[in-house]
């Protein structure tokens, strides 16, 4: 059995061959950092799906695909003389050692909660140092990148603000805010409704619901993903029920589809 290091070396050699100007793959040679980003994001979501469905064989494959993305970026950077895979590995090794002084030095941190506090303090110091070097004032919101999915970014921003005391006191208060946002949407639903205003209010509602999930210790991205999977499963069953009765979903009508939906929910409870 080969070692992980040997397999990594083999992958690096494969990537170099794919990018060889004379004998490489035309598609791989055409790629750039920007064109690879959508593939990286897709691979990350496929890793999440494999974990969500507890599909370990798929997870092995998807983690390999995600690893290939890192190797691809490193190869392109190496060709440009910017950095190489060794620099990427050295960076993460150093970072992990620096962020775990209780493991790699004499510092003592005895609980997971204390480690979380220490971890966040270390990262905050890193962000403050970076902000100062960039000539701007540090902020509690530094480091929450704009490219995150909106739901995940909303949760991160809320957590950061909460660390410095800007937060609701409990879930009941957030629920009141959710109800307030719903009322504001209702108020906008008039004959001469302003679409821009409705969009803003819906955004506020989604932000408030994210806050509610956080206070209830529910990870909103995962909760919504599971709700989406549930909807897909149930709707596919609705389609099957209608087709078995000789009816196409597009012509069944809402009332008949609702009957099938109730039947599906009853089947799941049985």
Mean pLDDT per 10-residue segment, the chain (270 residues): 90 97 95 94 91 93 97 97 96 89 77 69 71 77 85 93 92 96 92 88 96 95 90 96 92 94 93
Q: How many alpha carbons fall within 13 Å on the CB side of residue 54?
A: 0
Please check whether residue 161 is in contact with residue 167, taking contact to mean a CB–CB distance below 8 angstroms. yes
The gap from C-alpha 214 to its chain's centroid, in whole angstroms, comes to 15
Rounded distance between C-alpha atoms, residue 183 and residue 180, angstroms:
5
Per-residue model confidence (pLDDT) at position 235: 96
> CA nearest 163: which of 116, 210, 206, 129?
116
Rounded distance between C-alpha atoms, residue 28 and residue 49, angstroms:
26
pTM, two decimals, is 0.68
Q: How far is CA 6 from CA 91, 151, 176, 187, in A?
A: 20, 39, 57, 64
Per-residue model confidence (pLDDT) at position 85: 96
Calculate the dihedral angle through the C-alpha atoms of 76, 63, 49, 154, rounding to the nearest 10 degrees: -50
Structure tokens given for 20:
């060889």
Furthest CA-CA distance within the chain: 72
Please check whether residue 171 is in contact with residue 118, taking contact to mean a CB–CB distance below 8 angstroms. no
Rounded distance between C-alpha atoms, residue 43 and residue 148, angstroms:
15
> CA nearest 154: which of 226, 199, 212?
212
Please check whether residue 188 is in contact with residue 201, taking contact to mean a CB–CB distance below 8 angstroms. yes
Contacts 24+ apart (CB under 8 A), 91-94: none
Per-residue model confidence (pLDDT) at position 1: 65
Please check whether residue 36 is in contact with residue 47, taking contact to mean a CB–CB distance below 8 angstroms. no
Q: What is the CA radius of gyration of the chain?
A: 25
The gap from C-alpha 265 to its chain's centroid, in whole angstroms, comes to 29
């Amino acid at each position: 059995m080969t070692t992980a290091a040997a397999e990594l070396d083999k992958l690096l050699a494969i990537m170099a061959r794919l990018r060889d100007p004379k004998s490489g793959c035309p598609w791989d040679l055409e790629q750039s950092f920007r064109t690879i980003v959508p593939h990286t994001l897709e691979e990350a979501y496929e890793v999440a799906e494999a974990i969500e469905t507890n599909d370990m064989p798929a997870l092995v494959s998807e983690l390999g695909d995600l690893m290939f993305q890192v190797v691809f970026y490193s190869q392109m950077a190496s060709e440009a003389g910017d950095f190489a895979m060794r620099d990427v590995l050295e960076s993460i090794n150093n970072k992990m050692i620096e962020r775990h002084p209780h493991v790699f030095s004499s510092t003592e941190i005895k609980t997971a909660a204390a480690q979380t506090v220490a971890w966040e303090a270390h990262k905050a110091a890193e962000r403050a140092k970076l902000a100062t070097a960039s000539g701007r004032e540090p902020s509690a919101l530094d480091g929450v990148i704009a490219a995150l999915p909106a739901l995940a970014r909303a949760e991160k921003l809320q957590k950061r603000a909460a660390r410095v005391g800007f937060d609701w006191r409990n879930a009941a208060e957030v629920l009141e805010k959710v109800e307030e946002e719903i009322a504001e949407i209702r108020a906008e639903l008039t004959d001469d409704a302003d679409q821009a205003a409705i969009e803003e209010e819906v955004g506020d509602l989604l932000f408030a619901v994210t806050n509610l999930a956080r206070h209830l210790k529910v990870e909103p991205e995962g909760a919504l993903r599971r709700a989406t999977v549930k909807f897909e499963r149930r709707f596919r069953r609705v389609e099957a029920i209608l087709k078995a009765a000789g009816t196409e979903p597009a012509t069944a009508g809402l009332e008949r589809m609702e009957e099938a939906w109730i039947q599906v929910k009853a089947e799941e409870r049985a």
